[in-house]
Amino acid sequence: MEIAEFQRLIERIYYQKDRARGLDGTFRWFVEEVGELARAIREGDAGERAEEFADVLAWVSTLASICGVELAEAARKYELGCPKCQETPCGCG
């Protein structure tokens, strides 16, 4: 699935509810999901980690939509490699 497709899918599933909750409330839910990911990284198995990464990705996507940011466009920041040195792998000190 492409990034833009994923963002549209998450919008269809959650946008109305997340938009009504507002940016601040939705951001707090995102932070909670990041905490769950941290626990899964420390203590979980591969399946739990994958689930939590998916949840964090979904929350980032819905936050981007609320803010009017297209994730596929934003990801272009890295298309030439490191945004500072343009190297892959990064050659910054």
Going by pLDDT thresholds of 50, 70 and 90, the confidence category of residue 93 is confident
Close Cβ partners of 86 (under 8 Å, ≥ 6 residues apart): 80
pLDDT for res 77: 97
Domain 3-78 has CATH 3.40.50.300: no
- Domains of the chain, by residue range, sit at 3-78
* Residue 15 burial (10 A CB sphere; 0-12, 13-18, 19+): middle
pTM: predicted TM-score of the whole model, two decimal places: 0.92
